[in-house]
Structure 1
Amino acid sequence: MPINVLFAAHEKRWAQYEAPLRTALDAIGVDYTLAIELPPADVDYIVYAPSSPVQDFTPYTRLKAVLNLWAGVEDAVGNPTLKVPYARMVDDEGLTQGMVEWVTGHTLRHHLGMDAHIVNPNHSWVPDAPPVSADRPVGILGLGELGSACGQAIARLGFPVSGWARSQKQIDGITCHTGTDGLNTILRQSQILILLLPSTAATENTLNAETLAMLPKGAFIINPGRGLLIDDDALLAALDSGQIGHATLDVFRVEPLPQDHPFWGHPKVTVTPHIASETRAPSASRAIAENIRRGEAGEPFLYLVDRDAGY
């Protein structure tokens, strides 16, 4: 009997994912039906976007797992009807590499002071060389797959990299910290701070008036993680006072970012439209198919969400 895979996401995503998913499922050698509509009682796996109309999982009595299309799971992890294994997307080929490239690019941009050369209406000639990378401490808050990969890439460029996580970790090239003291240590030394924490009640407003004041004066902030990690008003005040030199933000509390939000017009803010790590359909489809293969073979699923931790 074929396994039934429901694609529960926006119709435009179906157009992007149908062919890559079929290719990936063909490659693992399972007999399957893949569709955007299936009788709930017949569904074995759901390929899922949390914004999907599927919010009540109770009718899916045969369901084996829900496989998220994105890395973020905060909009679904608390759903009381979602009782089966729930896997987040970790797509090393696309999502992780995309994040490494975006974070590394903006880290180098701020380190080298490239903005002053790219936009130079006064044609000023100021040969002010930046410090070498070894003299520019970089901090990363969040040492999951994405944070670890970004930190190691930046460390390979010669930057001293420190990272903070909920639990103690050992990662080549990164000095790892945990706990409140560890967080404060990273904040006090990071001239460039990168946010890659998940969005949970414990991480909301990680950067607030108090923690922003701990950073070295003129520090740069790069946030491709979650919008809720930053208190917007506190960040704007820190930018206006000069405590923070610039903030490059890819994620926001409300998306798309409202046209009247002060981030748009602030001279020390760069807004990018949640593009730091867009999931690539071909590689994401292979990650989804691998978890389906595991489920059918009785092997452990990859990247299961910790319901208690919220990610």
Structure 2
Amino acid sequence: MSILLIGSLDAEEYAEWRQHILAHLPAGEELVLAGEPHDPAAVEVALVANPPHGTLARYPRLGFVQSLWAGVDRMLSDPELPRKLPIARLVDPALTQAMMECALAGVLFLHRQLPAYARQQAGAEWRQLSQPLASQRRVGVLGLGELGSAAARGLSTVGFKVSGWSRSSREVAGVSCLSGAEGFDRLVSEAEILVNLLPLTPQTANVLDAKLFARLPRGAGVVNLARGGHLVEEDLLAALESGQVSHAVLDVFRQEPLPASHAFWQHPRITVLPHVAAYSEPSTASRIALENVARFRSGQPLTALVDPGRGY
């Protein structure tokens, strides 16, 4: 039987993933690529990276899907996706570390007022701004999954007063953990810098909107490292214009690549990153993915299974 590699990948990316998957492929397994001739009826396992909608439904004997990405929202939005198919997310310590680093970089960028100094430099203005310590700054992290918890812990280690919110109760060392509607409101109302690492679900879509921005302390900073679908772009622009939000660091967008004509590119209070906060490293992700495939083959419990009802 075959393992299928399929996704929104170009030829170079397919070649890189193929190289690393073959290095960890268990004996007796055959790897086939979506763009090459293969028998769909022989495919039992799919390793996927945002496969185009409708493609997984073409494999009648498909029994397990292992994502090579941490996020699975695009795949779950496929109307033809077999609903009882077990799907696992990728949980890779290398990806988690990368996301923690980017969250820390974004928060420190705002905390140390580097956007303001960049604007001063453009005007040859030498002016020292008042600078609180990290221990005097409140940071809120929305989402306490693998990535959010790691980011919250990292920020706490630096000394920030960190609060984290999740749908259900969590415990994260050094972090004030909140849940439920009341906890959400409290976190947002106190966050001088807000980091979004929520999964994208129907319940969290458009969460970064005018209502949320209005509840932030005036002049708060925003860091969105999760999904472009969390952000109502027009509401952010209005909040920046009014000064309610001082600066936004954005790594994800509704349309990627971000069109050259988009207002975000030239906005003086927005920092655009080209979706680089954390991405799957084939050398480590391939090994972790195939370890889960081995569990599937042997009937052992799978790791990081997706709950379709929750959307992650």
Q: Return the TM-score normalized by structure 2.
A: 0.93
1-side partners of 2:163 and 2:304: how far apart? 24
Q: Is residue 43–residue 59 contact of structure 2 (8 Å, CA) maintained in 1? A: no
Change (3 A) 1:202 1:278: same
Looking at structure 1, the residues matched to 146 and 56 of structure 2 have their Cα atoms a distance apart, in angstroms, of: 30
Identity of aligned residues (%): 38
In structure 1, the gaps of 5 or more residues are none
Are 2:115 and 2:269, in contact at CA under 8 Å, matched by a contact in 1? no
Moved more, 48-57 or 145-154: 48-57
Tell me if structure 2 keeps the 8 A contact 1:8–1:54.
Answer: no
Give the drift of 1:118: 4.8
The alignment status of 1:107 with 2:104, answered yes or no, reads no
Letter in 2 for 1:277: A
- Contact 1:247–1:269, Cα closer than 8 Å, also in 2: yes
1:129 Cα deviation (Å)?
A: 4.0
Distance 1:54 1:92 in 2: 31
1:34 corresponds to 2:28? no
Q: 1:233-270 CA distances to partner (integer Å, 9 max, x unpaired)? A: 11100000000000000111111112222111111011
Cα 1:56–1:296, aligned 2, differ >3 Å: closer, same or farther? closer
Structure 2 match to 1:214: 215
Report the equivalent of 1:47: 47
Q: CA deviation at 1:81?
A: 3.7
Spell out, residue by residue over 1:72-114, the C-alpha distance to the aligned partner (whole angstroms, 9 max, x if none). Answer: 2112224444232111122112x11111111111111111112
Instruction: Give me the whole-angstrom Cα distance separating, in 2, the residues matched to 1:141 and 1:16.
Output: 33
Q: Bigger shift: 240-249 or 129-138? A: 129-138
- Native 8 Å contact 2:54 2:81 kept in 1: no
Indicate whether 1:141 and 2:139 are aligned.
Answer: no
Q: 1:289-311: CA deviations, max 9, x gaps?
A: 11111112211111111100111
- How far apart are residue 66 of structure 1 and its match? 0.8
Alpha-carbon distance, 1:32 to partner: 1.2
Pair 173,220 (structure 1): closer, same or farther in 2 beyond 3 Å: same
1:236 and 1:114 map into 2 onto residues whose CA distance is: 20
**Helix, strand or coil at the partner of 2:275:** coil
CA contact (8 A) 2:53 2:75 kept: no
Q: CA-to-partner distance for each residue in 1:129-163, whole Å, 9 max, x for gaps?
A: 41011110000001110000000001000001101
**Which residue in 1 is equivalent to 2:179?**
178
Residue 75 (structure 1) aligned with residue 66 (structure 2): no
Equivalences for residues 269-284 of structure 1 within 5 A? 269-284=270-285
State the AA in 1 paired with 2:92: D
Structure 2: runs of 5 or more not aligned = none
Q: Is the Cα–Cα contact under 8 Å of residues 8 and 53 in structure 1 kept in the other structure?
A: no
1:96 correspondence with 2:93:
no
1:35 aligned partner, one-letter code: V
For 1:300 and 1:117, locate their aligned partners in 2 and report how far apart those are by CA, in whole Å: 52
TM superposition shift of 1:58: 4.8
**Which of 10-19 and 114-123 deviates more?**
114-123
Identify which range, 258-267 or 273-282, moves more after superposition.
258-267
Alignment partner, residue 63 of structure 2: 64
1:294–1:301 Cα contact (<8 Å) kept: yes
Please report the RMSD computed on the Cα atoms of aligned residues, expressed in angstroms. 1.6
Aligned residues: 304
Per-residue deviation, residues 197-245 of structure 1 (Å, max 9, x unmatched): 1111111111211110110111000001011111111110000000000
